[in-house]
Amino acid sequence: MFTVLSDKDIQRILQNLSHGELDGLTQALEKALIQYSTQNDHQYQPHRATITRPSGQVSLFMPATTESLVGVKIVGVAPSPDPSTLPPGTKPQAGLKSALTLCDDVGQAIGILNAAELTAFRTALGSMLLYKTRKRTEKIVVFGAGKQALWHVRLAVLLRGKDIMRVTIVNRSGQRAQELVETLTSDSGWPEHVTIGAVEQPESEELEKLVSEADVIFCTTPSRVPLILASFLTSESAREKSRYIAAIGSYRLDMAEIDPELLKKVADPSGEFSSQVWRGSITVDSREGCLQEAGELVSSGVAAENWLEVGAIKGDCSPEMDDWLKNGFVIYKSVGIGIMDLAVGSALLELARSKNIGLTVEDF
């Protein structure tokens, strides 16, 4: 059976997830990352390919394999139109489109999924793997107001809503931040006790206060300038509490959401954060991927040996490490890997079939 899932189909599934269904998707992602990190699955992942046409059209091909699946995500990035050429009142259309094709282990195509919502969801789900067991999550700060920010907040609330008191959206466009607030609070499951607000990129002093008071920080923007400066968290008062930071927005070596100087300090086994960090470790989705694409990590000079893959952590976690993940200062950096798309995409395919969602072709 071959199944086609449109973006609306996927939104319909994801926006109505039960706790049990979310748990199933989480387990599928965890299993794939454990296999990637501890069972040598990383050696069976083809390299990504990028093609740029003379017109400026960029196409990205992201193949991946597991024991039971083969797939490729294709992303098209259209060149930005000149605003002066557009009719009055016309907004430029989104320039990024993507689709995920899935095959079984013998190459039989089993489905194709619009990957716009899927990509944002699976990235946020990756951040949740370490977030869900955090002891403190009362105050959350989110940088960005796009799909990634949306799903980070949605999943955090679904997983830990009763423990969250305040969510603050920080974005250069105050209007977009406010629109995200309205989208989130219109969700039927938004907890009444959770205060949420939007802040247009504040002055440094106000931003430092927000960051230093946060228990959890989600960075979801392709920023070339660090959003979180080392000075925000190195003061004596800021170091009185630990926090979880997930940075998933930057994906090139010329980008950085976290100050590389902060990463250096976190990884210093004799530095000011040594009591809050397990063996100077920083967590990542893929060490190889971050070496190629995580600008803040590479420029920090922190040795790759200090980068712990989430799959390795989930595959073998000592009591000391577990205590750090729940209570310590944890930084997670993700650039995304293909098996995340395969794992979550195939699980969504099964969920869609159980709900009779999507278009099915019996003899593809």
pLDDT digits (tens, 9 = 90+) for 145-191: 999 999 999 999 999 999 999 999 999 998 999 999 999 999 888 99
Q: What is the CATH number of domain 2-81+95-118+339-361?
A: 3.30.1780.10
* Residue 106 CB contacts under 8 Å (≥ 6 apart), including other chains: none
Please tell me the distance from the alpha carbon of residue 227 to that of residue 86, in angstroms, as a whole number: 33
> Tell me, what's the pLDDT at 18?
94
Burial class (CB in 10 A: 0-12, 13-18, 19+), 56: exposed
312 in Cβ contact with 363 (< 8 Å): no
> Tell me, what's the pLDDT at 79?
82
Please tell me the distance from the alpha carbon of residue 8 to that of residue 251, in angstroms, as a whole number: 27
> Tell me, what's the pLDDT at 363?
87
> Tell me, what's the pLDDT at 316?
85
155 in Cβ contact with 182 (< 8 Å): no
> Tell me, what's the pLDDT at 47?
87
> Tell me, what's the pLDDT at 94?
55
pLDDT digits (tens, 9 = 90+) for 193-239: 999 999 998 788 999 999 999 999 999 999 999 999 999 999 999 99
SS3 107: coil
| Weakly modelled stretches of the chain, pLDDT under 50 | none
The runs of H, that is alpha helices, within the chain are 7-14, 19-38, 116-131, 147-160, 174-185, 204-213, 230-233, 260-267, 287-293, 295-300, 310-315, 319-327, 338-354
> Tell me, what's the pLDDT at 120?
97
> Tell me, what's the pLDDT at 38?
94
Q: How many Cβ atoms from other residues are within 10 Å of residue 242's Cβ?
A: 19
- H or E stretch covering 197: strand 195-200
pTM: 0.94
**Where in the chain are the domains?**
2-81+95-118+339-361, 121-337
| DSSP percent split of the chain into helix, strand, coil, nearest 5 | 45, 20, 35
For domain 121-337, the question of CATH label 3.40.50.300 is answered with no
